[in-house]
Structure formats: C-alpha cells, structure tokens
Amino acid sequence: MMRQLEQGAKSLQRRVRKRFMRPFVSDMTWEMLVSGPQRVASFSERTTIYTALSVLEHRYGLRAGSLTAAELKVFSQNGEDGVIMELLSRLGVQQGHFIEFGIEDGREGNCVLLADVLGWSGLFVEADAKLFARLRAKYAFNDRVDTRCAMVTPENVNDLFRDQPVDTDILSIDIDGQDYWVWDAIDVIRPKIVIIEYNSLLGPDDDKVEPQGASPVYSTTFGASIGALRRLGRAKGYALVHLEMSGVNAFFVRDDLARPPAHVTFRGPNYFLSGVNYDNEGVAMVEAAQAPHRSRRAELNT
C-alpha cells in the first residue's frame, strides 16, 4: 500500500511540474526537474561519483597521470575543489589569497573551501543584490574575506581589483558569458592560477567568443570556446593544464610556474555529469582573432 501511495505521489508531482513549470524554464532546467531519457544526476549521485574517484586514486595512484583523478566536490559545483588543492600542492602554496566573482550567495563556489576551511584571505564579488545580501551576511564576521556587490565588466575590473595583491594565488571567473573579455582586460593582477568557465560545445580548434557587451543568455553560443581561451591564455602568459569532467571550467597556470601536462583531455558538454547541454541558440559568436582586444593585439605584435 505504501509503495502504491509513493508511486501515486511521484506521478502527481510530475504532472504538476509539467503543467505549471514547463512554460517558464529552459530545456536544460526541465531535464533537471523531470526524469526523462537524459535524467540529470542528483547532487548525491555526483558527490558519490567524486568520492569513489578519490578512493580509486588513493588505492592506485591515478593522480600522477591525470588531474582528472584529483577531482573532488566539497563546495564547488563539480570537481574543482580537488583540482585546486592538487595544483596548490604542486605549486607549494599552503596559505594564500583568492579572488572569485560570480559567487552568488557563497554556498557554492571554487574558493569557498579556501575561505571557509583553510582560512585564506580573499575577495568575493556578486552583482545580484539579493544574493549579495546573503553573501555579505555569511562573511560579516570574517575579517579575512572581503565581499563586494558589483557587476564585473572589462571596463571596471581593474578598478575593482586595484587594491588586491598582484601575485594573487587564485582567480576564479564565472559570469556566464563575458568571462573571456574580462580576463582579457585584467592587467593589475597576475594570479598564479586562473579558473574560467568555457563553452564545451565548441572544440579546441574553434576561436569563437560571444561579442563584447552581450547580455548573459544560457545557450549554445554563450561565452568562449576553449580554443579562444587557450590562445588568450598563451598571450597573457598562461598554460592550459586541465578541463574538468563536466566540461564547465578550464584551469590555467602562469607560465613561470607551470609544468604543463603532456596531454589535456578536451571535453564535450557533460553538465551535472549527465551529458546534458543547452540546445537553444543565443547571440551569434565572432572570431576572437578578428575582435579588438588587448591580449590578442599583444600576441599578434610579438
């Protein structure tokens, strides 16, 4: 009887979602809400996957061959926490400073582990006023963590970070679109590690970016290809060292510190470790080589 009631409740829940929520959510969000052919892995399932990977690495030493084996989720969206700790270990950094923007309310982020567990100093920046209010409250009594409410753009990023350490250890960029242009504009800091979101629907040979100034839209044409970011990284003095399994974040290390791996595995979209990706088209992308910006000009002039 209880089993029948449970099945009935689940069926009712699905009908309610289909009737009232479908017109208001994106296709990707819909896959997250309703079970279907592309069922999205739950939070607990993804945590289990990363934990099992960690156990295998501990048993067999897989990490020596690939940073993928270091992936582990604590506060990060995917396995970024583990990759960050592995890179810091290889660079010999035990205590440092971070900058992360696009952090929302501070529950999930690439540098939350550093701030909340390891006692690092740093700066969190969030543009949404409601999310920022929760972020500010969370760190109100932490004198090592600064929080600012601001929309980070190529035009204001250097003013925002002018008071930050030039040799900042980690910079995490996640603003759902203009990430490429903001990184290109930064010249007041030279972080050791840069973590940046990219569009994994586009491959390593693509040199495509969304136009500068485009509004954030979750689509097949958001952000920048890894090919464009890798070229930008080279122009700024950074080497690509890892793309995490979900195909969301790229990791770069400054050339004077980097020992680039012999091979970086390029990823297609695997959001939430479920093969889910955006299917709606947004703004038309442009060739990065033809777009005017600082780092590309410097690269072409060398």
Q: Which two tokens stand for residue 214?
A: 């485009």
Q: What is the pLDDT of residues 90-142, one digit of tens each?
A: 999 999 999 999 999 999 999 999 999 999 999 999 999 999 999 999 999 99
Cα–Cα distance measured from residue 31 to residue 29, given in angstroms and rounded to the nearest whole number: 5
Tokens of 150: 């601001």
Structural domain boundaries enclosing 290: 74-300
* Residue 213 lies inside a defined structural domain of this protein: yes
Q: Which two tokens stand for residue 39?
A: 């069922």
CATH number at residue 119: 3.40.50.150
Model confidence pLDDT, tens digit, residues 210-249 = 889 888 777 787 889 999 999 999 999 999 999 999 999 9
Residue 234 placed within a domain: yes
Give the residue, 83 or 14, on which the prediction is more confident. 83
For residue 33, being part of any structural domain is answered with: no
Is the residue at 62 inside a domain? no
Instruction: Characterize the bridge pairing of strands 249-254 and 193-197.
Output: antiparallel
Query: Is 135 domain-assigned?
Result: yes
**In a domain? residue 160:** yes
Evaluate whether residue 82 is within a structural domain.
Answer: yes
The angle subtended at Cα 187 by Cα 182 and Cα 188, nearest 5°, is 115
Percent above pLDDT 90 for the chain: 60
Q: Say what the pTM is.
A: 0.84
Higher pLDDT, 113 or 176: 113
- Residue 63 inside a domain? The answer is no
Q: What is the pLDDT of residues 67-104, one digit of tens each?
A: 999 999 999 999 999 999 999 999 999 999 999 999 99
Domain total for the chain?
A: 1
Winning range, highest mean pLDDT, from 37-46, 85-94, 257-266, 273-282: 85-94
